[in-house]
Amino acid sequence: MKPFAYALAIGLATAQLATPSLAADITGAGATFPFPVYSKWAEAYRKDTGTGLNYQSIGSGGGIKQIQAKTVDFGATDAPLKAEALTKDGLVQFPTVMGAVVTVVNIAGVEPGKLKLTGELIGEIYSGKITKWSDAKIAKINEGVKLPDANITPVYRSDASGTTNIFTTYLSQASEAWKKEFGAATTISWPAGQGGKGNEGVTATVKQVPNSIGYVESAYAKQNKLSHTLIQNKAGKFPIPDEKSFQAAAASADWKSAPGFGISLTNQAGEDAWPITAATFVLVYKDPVDPAKTAEVLKFFSWAYKNGDKLAADLDYVPLPDNVVGMVNDAWKEIKGKDGKPVLNM
């Protein structure tokens, strides 16, 4: 990443830390995917309650490490932990909001939503097999779109990233070649392109590099006025990435099917479903060292479930369905204080 982009990524990632902490402030760290909505919620929550949130947008891998090291009150990850990991570390995992990953491009004259891509084409671009925007395979499904005979620069996450896990999970479902060669993970040995740290870094790099393509959480594309592409879904359609298509992806999800609500919403059936939709998650200890602080974390997210829907929707996130919020409230009963009682009475 160029020096300016690195400074921008770090500046955004630590923006919440610039304000002096109050004694009751909550600390969290992890996924960059929900950073915009957590920031909005934190601002409104401080006005309502006087309690602040200092959230470090450092990537899912960093968030998991920090909660394991007990240096924050909660960790945040877009790649949900499996049952074994939750049990091993004594963690409770719950979803907070849903969002989506979009591909964005910096191609002169190509407006948002005009370029169509499939999972197979995206996989070939990121594996270095398609190297020019003028490639016949891209042109075939983009009749009437003027694309340059220019080299493509794929931009990817350089850090351990839940966004990368979501993105590569979709590619593995949509492309057998990608699944066989790379699979799905929080980090990939990218064969081509340029890395950026966090959604912030990928955003900044795409804005700087002509003819580039990147993958970011949809709120970053909207806030930075990036040109998103359309992506073919499982039904063969090219839906618009918006609240309707994100909700369509989550409509039939079985949230009880995995411990810690760790389900996948990618490549869901349905003509209107956006193919790279996902939930983002929070991690807290089942038996916290500081029960009062963990109670404050739960109070914050309880407030967000009740009062944060519009703030989330304004940023193109999708609030959790009411029945899922009910399941989360039940899961919180597992989080006990020193007296063996739940840290938060619902």
Contacts of 200 (CB under 8 A, 6+ apart): 8, 9, 12, 13, 32, 35, 57, 220
Q: What is the pLDDT of residue 14?
A: 36
Does residue 67 form part of some domain? yes
Residue 118 identity: T
Q: Compute the distance between CA of residue 41 and CA of residue 56 in angstroms, rounded to an integer.
A: 14
Q: Compute the distance between CA of residue 277 and CA of residue 264 in angstroms, rounded to an integer.
A: 8
Residue 19 identity: T
> Domain check: are 283 and 321 in the same one?
yes
Q: What is the pLDDT of residue 255?
A: 87
Of the three residues 252, 269, 288, the one that is the final residue of a domain is: 252
Average pLDDT on 201-212 reads 97
Q: Compute the distance between CA of residue 158 and CA of residue 147 in angstroms, rounded to an integer.
A: 28
The DSSP code for 321 is P
Domain assignment of residue 209, given as a range: 101-252
278, 318 contact by CB (below 8 A): no
Does residue 339 form part of some domain? no
Confidence of residue 264 (pLDDT cuts 50, 70, 90): confident
Residues in the chain, total: 346
The count of other CB atoms within 10 Å of the CB of residue 71 is 12
Of the three residues 202, 237, 252, the one that is the final residue of a domain is: 252
Identify the bridge partners of residue 279 per DSSP, sorted by sequence position.
Answer: 98
Average pLDDT on 339-345 reads 90
| Burial bucket for residue 108 (CB in 10 Å: 0-12, 13-18, 19+) | exposed
Q: Compute the distance between CA of residue 77 and CA of residue 283 in angstroms, rounded to an integer.
A: 8
> What is the four-CA torsion angle of 264, 97, 240, 101, rounded to 10 degrees?
-60
Contacts of 24 (CB under 8 A, 6+ apart): 50, 51, 52, 296
Q: What is the pLDDT of residue 211?
A: 98
Confidence of residue 256 (pLDDT cuts 50, 70, 90): confident
Q: Given a cut of 70, is residue 6 above it in pLDDT?
A: no
Max CA-CA distance within the chain? 68
Work out how many domains the chain is built from and give that number: 2
Average pLDDT on 307-335 reads 93
- Span 92-132, pLDDT tens digits: 999 999 999 999 999 999 999 999 999 999 999 999 999 99
> Domain check: are 87 and 156 in the same one?
no
Confidence of residue 346 (pLDDT cuts 50, 70, 90): low
Find the helix or strand (DSSP H, E) in which 307 lies. helix 291-307
SS3 content of the chain, % helix, strand, coil (to 5): 40, 20, 40
Q: Which residue has the higher pLDDT, 14 or 220?
A: 220
How far is residue 81 from each of residues 54, 206, 335, measured CA to CA in Å? 23, 30, 17
Q: Compute the distance between CA of residue 189 and CA of residue 205 in angstroms, rounded to an integer.
A: 19
- Span 144-192, pLDDT tens digits: 999 999 999 999 999 999 999 999 999 999 999 999 999 999 999 999 9
> Domain check: are 110 and 83 in the same one?
no
Q: What is the pLDDT of residue 84?
A: 96
Whole-number mean pLDDT of the chain? 91
Domain CATH number, residue 326 = 3.40.190.10
Confidence of residue 24 (pLDDT cuts 50, 70, 90): low
Q: Is 285 helix (H, G, I), strand (E, B) or coil?
A: strand
Confidence of residue 4 (pLDDT cuts 50, 70, 90): very low
- Span 69-93, pLDDT tens digits: 999 999 999 999 999 999 999 999 9
- Residue 201 tokens read as 């870094």
Q: What is the pLDDT of residue 220?
A: 92
Q: Is 28 helix (H, G, I), strand (E, B) or coil?
A: strand
> Domain check: are 161 and 140 in the same one?
yes
Q: Compute the distance between CA of residue 155 and CA of residue 243 in angstroms, rounded to an integer.
A: 25
Does residue 268 form part of some domain? no
